[in-house]
Amino acid sequence: MEKIDWANLSFGYIPTDYNVRCYYRNGAWGEVEVSSSETINLHMAATSLHYGQEAFEGLKAFRCPDGRVRIFRMKDNAERLQSTCRGILMPELPTDLFCEMTEKVVMLNERFIPPYESGAALYIRPLLIGTGAQVGVHPADEYLFVIFVSPVGPYFKGGFSTNKYVIIRDYDRAAPLGTGCYKVGGNYAASLRANRIAHEAGYSCEFYLDAKEKKYIDECGAANFFGIKDNTYITPKSTSILPSITNRSLQQLALDMGMKVECRQIPEEELSTFEEAGACGTAAVISPIARIDDPEKNLSYVFSKDGKPGPLSTRLYQRLRDIQYGIEPDTHGWVTVL
């Protein structure tokens, strides 16, 4: 294999040696298969293609300073996938099978796990799709669960830094009683136009208000939002946001650090009172927010004047990274050491 420039990888697809697969047929999950093919053979009437019976997950494995490989909160991803399965009528994949296949695909592709010093990691992408043919709108009777991996570069190439976001009211990514709380591709299709508009206007991402009243903070693109003030970590409560495992981890760490945590509706105006704000998710852990613009109201909420992340966001980021890399003890049982 040609040498990979670990530190200059982007968040893109890089072929690896193997992926792992498991088929659901006749009401049961089959044997785990190892494949070196990058393609899947799919019936043209598969429900994933026509009716969006598709769910995915995203997690990471890290090469650590002690030489070991650690996977972060794998069981939580398994459980979130099960919740998505219930949401769009797909058979639930057992947690043990999810974990067995995740460990297997990481070990099989060990040579693609970036070295610790590079700041890069191995991104793990589980995917569950309806493969059974249907013409009417019904759930499929056959499914394929596949996991592939790809080395991804450090999110912050020039070091931990801030980004700007823009509130967009013309598009919603999810409805209050829709599929926003499930990790399904349809939500991403719904977000592509708003995302393009934000990028073309020079922003790092679009920022959504709640779809019904356009009054409360929902999500920032494909990441959860949090604000910090008065030593309190505040994050939106909403039926249309995806329950981020990173967000849940940060809430726990905030409590551990003696901060308060509030999960509640956040009216847009409250943005002006936050001392720090960030977007959180597996890709970046925390992407600190410099400012959020609301062009329609001619408003701008500024959280960092000098482009530097705030002190509490920085501490939370550092602590989570240190747990992922086995530098800090894993007191919450989040990490699987291979």
Taking the least distance from each CB to ligand PLP, the nearer of 143 and 182 is 182
| Radius of gyration (C-alpha) of the chain in whole angstroms | 20
The residues, any chain, with a CB within 8 Å of residue 210's CB and separated by 6 or more, are 176, 216, 217, 218, 238, 240
One-letter amino acid of 336: T
Structure-token pair, residue 138: 């019904």
One-letter amino acid of 68: R
What three-state secondary structure class fits 237? Answer: coil
Specify the pairing of strand 59-63 against strand 54-56: unpaired
Structure-token pair, residue 305: 């004047």
Work out which of 84, 195, 251, 282 binds ligand PLP, going by CB under 6 A.
Answer: 282
Specify the pairing of strand 163-167 against strand 285-294: parallel
Which residue in the block uniquely carries the two structure tokens 């604000």?
227
Query: Segment contacting ligand PLP (CB under 6 A): 4-12, 13-21, 219-227, 228-236?
Result: 219-227
* Shortest Å, Cβ 188 to ligand PLP: 7
Residue 207's nearest CA partner among 292, 290, 322 is 292
Secondary structure letter of residue 195 according to DSSP = H
What three-state secondary structure class fits 87? Answer: helix
Work out which of 140, 167, 198, 222 binds ligand PLP, going by CB under 6 A.
Answer: 222
* Binding-site string for ligand PLP from residue 169 to residue 208, where x marks contact by CB under 6 A and - marks none: --------------x-------------------------
- 289 near ligand PLP, judged by CB under 6 A: no
Taking the least distance from each CB to ligand PLP, the nearer of 42 and 190 is 190
* Shortest Å, Cβ 236 to ligand PLP: 11
Work out which of 163, 179, 244, 336 binds ligand PLP, going by CB under 6 A.
Answer: 244
Residue 233's nearest CA partner among 204, 203, 257 is 257
Taking the least distance from each CB to ligand PLP, the nearer of 126 and 132 is 126
H/E run at residue 205: strand 205-209
* Shortest Å, Cβ 168 to ligand PLP: 15
Work out which of 54, 206, 219, 268 binds ligand PLP, going by CB under 6 A.
Answer: 219
* Shortest Å, Cβ 134 to ligand PLP: 26
What is the binding site for ligand PLP (CB under 6 A)?
A: 58, 183, 219, 222-224, 242, 244-247, 281-282
